[in-house]
Structure 1
């Protein structure tokens, strides 16, 4: 039976790309009973029914999946975080980083709207970029109107399936329009009263960009750690994972344990205190989470 990859999902239909083109599919009725939901990015087997329609009969195993946005088999996450309009939020950035790290996805931080900053805002952004680079992340400072933007991002996108994520209003659709001018995604104005943008992307789709695939996804206003356990959080902070090798106790949670190397490095300034504060916040949220049955 033929196989392909779901490139778009909208109104109950799945658009599957195969060697000869694209076919519109529905999922098997039994999927609902088995609690199987096909996702954009899934590799699937399908049965042709007529010239235009088909039915997905099997969803192949995934290497990872995200709940919001609903995308699977992601290699890289391009995390769009604005420096201004809305103001830079290191807490939100760290949430994105923890989420993608927990799914084994390589993050690339894209700080947007550099062209709209004043001198002090730009300096703060560059200082943040320096720290995140020091712990192993790739960080790009971008302006939507810079002529070399595609060439700056292209090396990360080639032969990868990338999710473009970020809160509303940070310029995700504008960024993707820059990467693929013919796409012409709708962009939204920033709400001055709320300080955040309106959602403008209404479905999930993989677009061919710069030798890879990029998913344009709805913006986020919040993120929850729905499946992450407290024992896993430390490994999602690269500098914590490295320091933890010198903690006295194996499995140290870096909370009240004695001889904790993470806490020592926070006190010495080697680890950014805001990163540790966010770690404590995320740990508390997970410990307060209602148990799942």
Structure 2
């Protein structure tokens, strides 16, 4: 007898005993074990029947948390039977029961499964909203591993969602319903997600989100926010030695600072870009940019920054004298 068959037999025996004694909640727990075993051995239709019975018993007993767990198993069985729409509705119901029972971990696990189902169905907007909520729940109760998993799935959902030409049709709830709302939400979530990943020490994973945030802010013509995303993209990629992305990020950031009359940002951009151009061997450009940086920073009264820009300039000039670059 296999593992699943043993669980089914034991669960059925326990369910009969508890039914005879009138202990309905324990009967329902035993039925849940039977349902899991039936699904495990490839009999989802029978599992659906048994898990439905268990959920109904818990509902009648007023045990919301155990009802939620039975509903979660029912949702899994429905999915195994190919009844995805019903499965998603049941898992949503499980999340509600967990929330009403004050079980954020259970609610988070139910929402995590729902997010996976949304992704499988190509409903990326709803997956994004679901994973944002899931990550927040796990963060509130200090479950860092589960939060990290939710954030990684959020990355995938964002990539698939914002990579499409237009958002999928809304089906109710909070997801954006217009291209403009989708762009606004996508840019903000990408940026905040990148910040979270960077703080977690996962800089390489933050890069695509900073990049996409900058692109979406540009579409919205939100220059200030685009500049912030580009600045962080430049800083992170410098740390990763991905200079081929750092240089254009800081160049675009410099343009935005000039467009928006951000004098302080312009000085910072010139200083960072000047040093970076030296590091990548673009010495003639480095001389010009560091000269601009020194002049700009001198006007703003930043002697230490001026000295750093002049040091970068001297380094570039020496390299040119040696015939480098």
TM-based fold match above 0.5: no
| TM-score, L = length of structure 1 | 0.21
More helix by share: 2
Q: Which has the larger radius of gyration?
A: 2
